[in-house]
């Protein structure tokens, strides 16, 4: 399938900006890259939807308090006990925060009628691997233990995230399973599953589609301490030995994304292990399209799809 026309406009604008000398993410300090990323999301993200309730809270982590943004959907009251999705933002473990993905979390909450906890995990290089893993799982474990009295159901916890956040979702699902307190669903948006990056899609889409090979090299250099970290399943979850008891999954990829083959490989491994999986590739899309709902119509369709599949997973618990 050809590139979506709305996506092509974005790619053309990015190519023009680069030709005119606009600085690229891998050419600046991580702190400056974060501001560049935040600015770029503002240009392509729609106005945030109203929700019934939103608040910034804090959860105890191994290295201090972890900022978390808590959303409840429109039409709910403060006494309704809701299912909860714990969302991990993308950004190569280096950029991204609660604000860059605020619109996505609001849409998910409203579309799916569940609460959302968005996690502002520590970023590299100030906090190297596995700091992000530790922070994300601390929030998952906290939710599974009752979330300190928040009006959420600890037996109806799902994980979700895009790109690096998808990776963290898989890892947290495995860690929860290993502790005997599994989450009920994993909703993954173009996750990175193999730090070795040997698939054909990395060769085919490593240049000209926003997420470049150079950028990925830079992200990995910031996040990992050594090449051997790539062999740790908490960095490359495709290396998890046994996936047979993992929670059901919805896995969304983008057709012109260097990571598309990694997402499909993980979906195939889950299926082979007997785990229920729904796999969807948005063929005309690129990496990071999930935050571009202001300029890409398919983004809003995709977010609704994710929310519906998560809601269906929660609803299926009532039928058991």
Task: Confirm if 179 and 141 have CB atoms less than 8 A apart.
Answer: yes
Whether residue 163 lies in the annotated active site: yes
281 Rama class: left (phi>0) / alpha (psi -120 to 50) / beta: beta
Taking alpha carbons only, the member of 22, 76, 113, 41 closest to residue 304 is: 113
- List the catalytic residue out of 202, 220, 282, 287: 287
Active site residue 102: no
| Residue 265 contacts residue 281 (beta carbons within 8 Å) | no
Rounded-to-integer distance, Cα 193 and Cα 116, Å: 24
CA angle 220, 221, 225 (to 5 degrees): 100
In sequence order, the β-bridge partners of residue 252 are: 189, 280
Which candidate in 135, 257, 261, 282 is catalytic? 257
Catalytic: 287? yes
Catalytic residue, candidates 40, 163, 169, 201 = 163
The Cα–Cα gap between 57 and 25 comes to: 30
Active site residues: 163, 257, 287
């Amino acid at each position: 399938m050809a590139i979506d026309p709305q996506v092509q406009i974005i790619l053309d604008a990015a190519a023009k900006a680069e030709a005119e000398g606009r600085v690229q993410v891998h050419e600046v300090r991580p702190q400056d890259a974060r501001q560049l990323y935040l600015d770029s999301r503002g240009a392509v993200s729609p106005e945030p939807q109203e929700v019934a309730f939103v608040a910034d809270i804090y959860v105890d982590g191994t290295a201090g308090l972890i900022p978390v943004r808590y959303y409840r959907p429109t039409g709910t009251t403060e006494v309704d006990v809701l299912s909860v999705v714990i969302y991990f933002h993308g950004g190569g473990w280096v950029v991204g925060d609660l604000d860059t993905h605020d619109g996505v979390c609001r849409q998910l909450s409203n579309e799916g009628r569940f609460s959302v906890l968005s996690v502002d995990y520590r970023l590299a290089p100030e906090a190297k691997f596995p700091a992000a893993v530790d922070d994300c799982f601390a929030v998952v474990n906290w939710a599974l233990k009752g979330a300190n009295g928040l009006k959420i159901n600890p037996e109806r916890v799902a994980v979700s995230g895009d790109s690096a956040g998808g990776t963290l979702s898989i890892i947290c699902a495995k860690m929860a399973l290993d502790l005997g307190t599994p989450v009920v669903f994993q909703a993954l948006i173009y996750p990175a599953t193999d730090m070795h990056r040997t698939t054909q899609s990395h060769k085919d889409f490593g240049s000209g589609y926003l997420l470049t090979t150079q950028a990925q090299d830079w992200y990995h250099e910031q996040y990992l301490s050594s090449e051997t970290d790539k062999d740790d399943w908490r960095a490359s979850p495709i290396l998890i030995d046994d996936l047979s008891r993992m929670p059901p999954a919805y896995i969304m990829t983008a057709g012109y994304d260097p990571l598309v083959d990694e997402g499909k490989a993980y979906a195939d491994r889950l299926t082979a292990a007997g785990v229920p999986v729904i796999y969807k590739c948005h063929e005309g899309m690129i990496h990071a399209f999930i935050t571009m709902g202001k300029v890409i119509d398919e983004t809003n369709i995709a977010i609704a799809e994710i929310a519906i599949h998560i809601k269906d997973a929660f609803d299926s618990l009532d039928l058991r």
